[in-house]
């Protein structure tokens, strides 16, 4: 179920610059990456992706880096998905829709991959869901681009974090049936964590 194989930056014969280039290339379909301290680009950095059926799940142990997705990249790689990332350690600043927000350990940050975004991140460990837009129903996800969800501020976020960590711990061993069941739960918790949809209220009125 996982992507498997040895990542190119784990080759001990490579220097920090070469490992940083290999890391950036692996993420290039989604972000333009600049590792801000190539000397700290260790061979044991992790980037694993798992196909859970209805969505993708990822584990990452990333160096300090600058990540940018501009309009041109979004147009070339037309991904009608939303990236939701849960920080286990570390922090970042995200610039989206003309606003800058801070993301800290314990938070979730939501990125609409159809829109430009810029992140300046310290070394982080994180878990991520890449969710097709259709799983959010009629919810307008573009308006939530750059939203930060904190467990102390929004209901259900702490429960979503617990689920993400549990999936991260057993992603290597999940059966297809288990993965499908977990994605149903994850999608429900994501929708609950986002709260009521103001547009839906308008449609009912």
pTM above 0.85, yes or no: yes
Full DSSP string of 190-201: HHHHT---HHHH
Residue 110 belongs to what H/E stretch?
A: strand 108-112
DSSP state letter for 64: S
Higher pLDDT residue, 64 or 153? 64
The pLDDT confidence band at residue 93, using thresholds 50, 70 and 90, is very high
Provide mean pLDDT across the span 30-51: 89
Q: If pLDDT is split at 50, 70 and 90, which confidence band does 203 have?
A: very low
How far apart (Å, rounded) are the C-alpha atoms in residues 133 and 74? 15
DSSP 134: G
**Range with top average pLDDT, 38-47, 86-95, 139-148:** 86-95
Across 34-57, average pLDDT: 89
* Average pLDDT taken over every residue of the chain: 89
Residue 201 pLDDT greater than 50, yes or no: no
What pLDDT, on a 0 to 100 scale, did the predictor assign at position 204?
A: 46
Distance CA 49, CA 39 (A): 25
Where does the pLDDT of residue 3 fall: very low under 50, low under 70, confident under 90, or very high at 90 and above? Answer: low
Q: What distances in angstroms separate CA 205 from CA 140, 192, 196, one per listed residue?
A: 17, 21, 14
Nearest in space to 130 (alpha carbons), one of 47, 50, 197 = 50
**Spatial separation of the C-alpha atoms in residues 19 and 13, rounded to whole Å:** 10
Q: Is the model more confident about 71 or about 40?
A: 71
* pLDDT tens figures, 161-172: 999 999 999 999
Higher pLDDT, 68 or 154: 68
């Amino acid at each position: 179920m996982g992507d498997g194989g040895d990542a190119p930056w784990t080759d001990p014969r490579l220097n920090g610059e070469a490992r940083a280039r290999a890391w950036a290339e692996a993420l290039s379909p989604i972000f333009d990456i600049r590792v801000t301290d190539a000397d700290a680009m260790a061979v044991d950095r992790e980037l694993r992706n798992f196909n859970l059926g209805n969505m993708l799940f990822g584990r990452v142990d990333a160096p300090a880096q600058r990540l940018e997705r501009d309009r041109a990249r979004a147009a070339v790689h037309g991904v009608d998905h939303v990236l939701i990332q849960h920080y286990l350690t570390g922090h970042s600043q995200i610039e989206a829709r003309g606003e800058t927000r801070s993301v800290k350990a314990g938070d979730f940050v939501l990125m609409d991959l159809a829109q430009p975004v810029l992140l300046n991140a310290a070394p982080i460990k994180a878990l991520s869901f890449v969710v097709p837009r259709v799983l959010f129903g009629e919810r307008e996800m573009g308006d939530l681009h750059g939203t930060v969800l904190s467990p102390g501020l929004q209901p259900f976020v702490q429960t979503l974090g617990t689920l993400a960590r549990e999936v991260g711990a057993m992603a290597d061993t999940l059966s297809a049936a288990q993965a499908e069941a977990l994605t149903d739960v994850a999608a429900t918790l994501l929708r609950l964590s986002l709260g009521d949809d103001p547009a839906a209220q308008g449609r009912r009125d």
